[in-house]
Amino acid sequence: VAERVLTAVNSGASSLSFVGSGFIVLCYLLFKELRKFSFKLVFYLALSDMCCSFFSIIGDPSKGYFCYAQGYTTHFFCLASFLWTTTIAFTLHRTVVRHKTDVEDLEPMFHLYVWGTSGVMTVIRSIANNHELGTWCWAQTGHTGKVVHFITFYAPLWGAILFNGVTYFQVIRMLNNATRMAVGMSERSYQPDPRSDMKALNRWGYYPLILIGSWFFGTINRIHDVIEPGHKIFWLSVLDVGMAQLMGLFNSIAYGLNSSVRRAIYERLDLPEWSQRWLPKSKSRGQQSELVSL
């Protein structure tokens, strides 16, 4: 019964994430005006989330060695997902705080960093696999396998969370100082819109919380499983699976569904007038992504 419940929760949450991340991928492919470098990183993030969700849906311990393949691919693409969030944070920090304009030249390094790190960690995990199927394809069963799984996934995860948190804190502090200076030095005829600025700042502050919310219960569950391997907590396993597989949906909403995407959809589709409340008012040409707009 517990296995069926976990499978149902996994399939439902993964399906929502697959649809959300797939929508962002589709928008990037359809709308040329979105193909700026900043949104290209969001596209890679959504693509990783979509693959992670897809392979999570098809996993089932009853499928034997097919389950191992699903476990490795899930490990690889989920790792790639949160590593892409660090490239977005790094790009924002390099642009806003360090005032560098060479971020587009770093794209090959981003790919090497994300796919290379994900590949190495997945290979290390596969070496420690003891080939004993438990109730979950992605989780390890032996003590050594559990420790290696924690090292190759959860350690990089919380490193990414720490990096993103520090980076966004520095970006927000920098922009707050710049806004105060602009207000103090500007003439009365110039009236900045602090509400829109703070809305963007608050949204950036939520980005690290997505990873924390998605993987907090999973981290606690892994630690508990190592300490007391014979005692499973069902409700913790449900929260672990459900929240982790919703990461793609959370990322697609936070990173992908910004004003540029909404504007592109509105301009291509004949939407009713009331929908304009949901869409940004301005339609200025060449507006950059919200990641670098300030």
Confidence band, pLDDT 50/70/90 cuts, at residue 62? low
Q: Is the pLDDT of residue 204 over 90?
A: no
pTM for the full predicted model: 0.82
Q: Is the pLDDT of residue 128 over 50?
A: yes
Q: Which of 190, 240, 215, 271 is nearest to 10 (CA)?
A: 240
* Sign of the dihedral through C-alpha 196, 86, 210, 70: positive
Between CA 49 and CA 34 the distance in angstroms is 19
Confidence band, pLDDT 50/70/90 cuts, at residue 78? very high
Confidence band, pLDDT 50/70/90 cuts, at residue 281? very low
What integer pLDDT is reported at residue 70 of this predicted model? 79
What integer pLDDT is reported at residue 262 of this predicted model? 77
Q: Is the pLDDT of residue 25 over 90?
A: yes
Confidence band, pLDDT 50/70/90 cuts, at residue 85? very high
When pLDDT is averaged across residues 31-36 and rounded to a whole number, the result is 84
Mean pLDDT score of the chain, rounded to an integer?
80
When pLDDT is averaged across residues 114-128 and rounded to a whole number, the result is 89
What integer pLDDT is reported at residue 200 of this predicted model? 56
Alpha-carbon distances, residue 212 vs 207, 208, 275 (angstroms): 9, 7, 32
Q: Which residue would you say has higher pLDDT here, 139 or 19?
A: 19
When pLDDT is averaged across residues 15-20 and rounded to a whole number, the result is 94
Complete domains list, the chain, with CATH? 1-185+193-268 (1.20.1070.10)
What integer pLDDT is reported at residue 38 of this predicted model? 82
When pLDDT is averaged across residues 169-196 and rounded to a whole number, the result is 69
Q: Is the pLDDT of residue 53 over 50?
A: yes
**Interhelix angle 2-30/234-245, nearest 10 degrees:** 10
When pLDDT is averaged across residues 21-44 and rounded to a whole number, the result is 89
Looking at 97-193, list the stretches that DSSP marks H as alpha helix, in order from N- to C-terminal side: 107-127, 143-149, 155-185
